[in-house]
């Protein structure tokens, strides 16, 4: 069982107004004052959007952000704990908006639903991709109007669809006839978009099979939507999370334009393409810039649709918040197993059940830093602290840590702002969920 609210509010166990929040205010007072003095409007499609002009970025993408480094040097944090620099979140949003000026950005709330992040993005004019009534209510609670929400999960309870509709949401995803009928019954005349299956080649965290349907079926479903009195708005796809192959967007759009043409022959004019996410964080290997993604997508849209381009939606999550967060953890034990494998086992107080679920099959390979960096290193196996044999982070990947590393040392896990608190288990083995603080 996972609970994002518990994970991101775990700091509340420290005090009514959490020590973490107080420390964040104290440590960032000077930076905040300087930021306020330097703020200025940024030219975008929506003139009311204002972002900090001088977010403190690390020397390399996905590195340790300077403001977080200062905070970690003085704050007394529980361990493990995620720290997120919200100014970097704002910077990343602005960079994507600049790279895709004609697209509507729907932030994927599931990546990190922290109140501070949702509030900042709401103020920047972002729309939001939501997967549950919990996420919808979170956004509404931050003053986001319902027309800026999409209920993007293709697997929804009918009563949740009805509740969302009652609260003003009018855009829903689907990928099956049964889901479409639920929407028609309780959310009449809503805009609906069909999700199409993609292979997700090149993605480090593929999203194939569970979501989407074959293109031929998608065409039939869009016709059926119109018959049911719904508004067949468009097509959705996702090329896979942490997508590093820029050509995948063009491949997906090639399939999409064929679907547009097929339903047009059947009397339906689609108006929107939802291109999902895929925008990456920087982990152990370098990734293209956000500007490169924007250029690839713009070129693909022009190549496939020409001058008659549809409305475009993108749903970034990882690419907005991933690089903005760092988990501070602690070494619990360093040991060896004997035999021919001479690698040390380094056990951290954070593992698969504390938010590092994306290390499953060693898919996402986070960068680590320690107080002993620069000293002699040797190969290690990295594992979490729980009594579950699945709680091994990296055994096949070549991770090397300083030989001098001992129990009690800090280990900082970089670019962990996305899909960590939301994957944190509720007290598995009695360990508390991953604490978090935004600065």
Question: Which residues are marked as active site?
Answer: 387
Hey, which residues does 107 pair with through a beta bridge? 128
Instruction: Give the separation between CA 73 and CA 77, rounded to whole angstroms.
Output: 10
Q: How do strand 410-414 and strand 325-335 relate by DSSP bridges?
A: antiparallel
In Å, what is the CA distance from 39 to each residue of 50, 53, 205, 368, 370?
8, 5, 36, 33, 34
Q: List the end-to-end C-alpha distance of the chain, in Å, as a whole number.
A: 28
- 235 and 154 Cβ atoms separated by less than 8 Å: no
Nearest residue to 351 (alpha-carbon basis) of 371, 318, 381, 319: 381
Dihedral, CA of residue 287, residue 293, residue 299 and residue 300, to nearest 10:
90
- For 347, half-sphere exposure in the C-beta direction (CA atoms, 13 angstrom radius) is 14
Nearest residue to 366 (alpha-carbon basis) of 354, 378, 358: 358
Instruction: Write the CB contacts of 38 (distance below 8 Å, at least 6 apart in sequence).
Output: 52, 53, 54
- 169 and 136 Cβ atoms separated by less than 8 Å: yes
Map tokens 């898919």 to a residue. Answer: 363
- 54 and 67 Cβ atoms separated by less than 8 Å: no
Nearest residue to 334 (alpha-carbon basis) of 237, 408, 397: 408
């Amino acid at each position: 069982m996972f609970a994002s609210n518990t994970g991101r509010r775990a700091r509340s166990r420290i005090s009514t107004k959490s020590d973490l929040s107080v420390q964040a205010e104290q440590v960032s007072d000077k930076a905040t004052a300087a930021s306020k003095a330097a703020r200025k409007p940024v030219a975008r499609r929506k003139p009311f959007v204002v972002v900090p002009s001088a977010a403190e970025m690390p020397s390399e993408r996905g590195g340790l952000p300077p403001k977080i480094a200062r905070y970690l040097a003085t704050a007394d944090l529980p361990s493990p704990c995620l720290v997120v620099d919200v100014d970097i979140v704002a910077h990343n949003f602005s960079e994507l908006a600049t790279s895709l000026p004609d697209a509507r950005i729907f932030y994927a709330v599931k990546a990190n639903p922290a109140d501070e992040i949702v509030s900042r993005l709401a103020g920047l004019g972002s729309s939001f991709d939501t997967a549950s009534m919990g996420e919808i209510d979170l956004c509404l609670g931050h003053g986001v109007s319902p027309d800026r929400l999409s209920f993007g999960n293709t697997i929804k309870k009918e009563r949740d669809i009805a509740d969302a509709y009652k609260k003003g949401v009018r855009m829903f995803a689907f990928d099956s006839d049964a889901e479409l009928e639920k929407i028609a019954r309780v959310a009449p005349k809503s805009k609906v978009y069909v999700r199409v299956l993609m292979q997700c080649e090149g993605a480090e965290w593929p999203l194939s099979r569970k979501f989407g349907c074959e293109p031929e079926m998608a065409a039939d479903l869009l016709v059926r939507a119109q018959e049911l009195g719904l508004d067949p708005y468009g097509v959705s796809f996702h090329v896979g999370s942490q997508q590093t192959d820029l050509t995948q967007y063009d491949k997906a759009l090639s399939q999409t334009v064929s679907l547009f043409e097929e339903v047009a022959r059947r009397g339906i004019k689609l108006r929107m393409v939802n291109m999902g996410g895929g925008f990456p964080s920087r982990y152990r290997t370098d990734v293209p810039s956000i500007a490169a993604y924007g250029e690839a997508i713009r070129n693909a849209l022009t190549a496939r649709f020409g001058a008659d381009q549809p409305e475009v939606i993108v749903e970034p999550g990882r690419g907005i918040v991933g690089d903005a967060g760092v988990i501070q953890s602690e070494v619990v034990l360093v040991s060896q197993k004997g035999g021919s494998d001479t690698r040390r086992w380094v056990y951290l107080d954070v593992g698969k059940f504390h938010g590092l679920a994306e290390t499953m099959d060693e898919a996402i390979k986070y960068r680590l830093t320690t107080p002993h960096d620069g000293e002699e290193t040797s190969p290690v196996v990295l594992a979490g602290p729980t009594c579950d044999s699945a709680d091994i982070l990296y055994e096949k990947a070549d991770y090397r840590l300083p030989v001098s590393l001992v129990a009690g040392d800090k280990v900082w896990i970089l670019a962990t702002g996305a899909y960590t608190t939301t994957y944190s288990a509720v007290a598995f083995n009695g360990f508390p969920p991953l604490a978090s603080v935004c600065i």
